[in-house]
Amino acid sequence: MKKIVPDPPHVFELPPGKSLSRAISDGIVPIEFVMMNVTHYLMFAYSDSRRALERIEDEETRQQLEHGLRAMQITWGQADALALAVERQR
C-alpha cells in the first residue's frame, strides 16, 4: 500500500514589520497555504504525540494525553475541511 505523504509546509517571506495575519489580509500570503500548513503541522503533532502515548506507563497521564489527542483529531479534521473549502472558493 502506498503511503500518502502531504506536501511540505510553505515558508513565507514576510515583509519587515508585517504580521502573518496582515500578510494574509493584504493577499501577500495565500490563506489556503496557511491552512495547508496548519493541517500539516497538526498531522506531525498528532503522530508524535501518539508515539509518546505508547511509552507512557502512568494511567492518569495516558488518559490526559488521549483526551488531548482526541481534541487534536477534531481540530485537524475541521482545519482540513476549512482548507479544502477555501481552496475551492479561489
Q: How confident is the model at residue 4 (pLDDT cuts 50, 70, 90)?
A: low
Can you tell me the distance from the alpha carbon of 49 to that of 57, in angstroms, rounded to the nearest whole number? 14
Average pLDDT over residues 57-75: 92
pTM above 0.85, yes or no: no
Could you tell me which residue, 55 or 13, shows the higher pLDDT? 55
| Residues whose CB is less than 8 angstroms from the CB of residue 42 and which lie 6 or more positions away in sequence, other chains included | 72, 75, 76, 79
Task: Give me the pLDDT at residue 7, please.
Answer: 61
Report which DSSP code applies to 58.
Answer: -
Three-class SS of residue 90? coil
Residue spans of the domains in the chain: they are 29-89
Question: What pLDDT sits at residue 1?
Answer: 47
pLDDT tens digits, residue range 17-65? Answer: 888 888 888 888 888 888 888 888 888 889 999 999 999 999 999 999 9
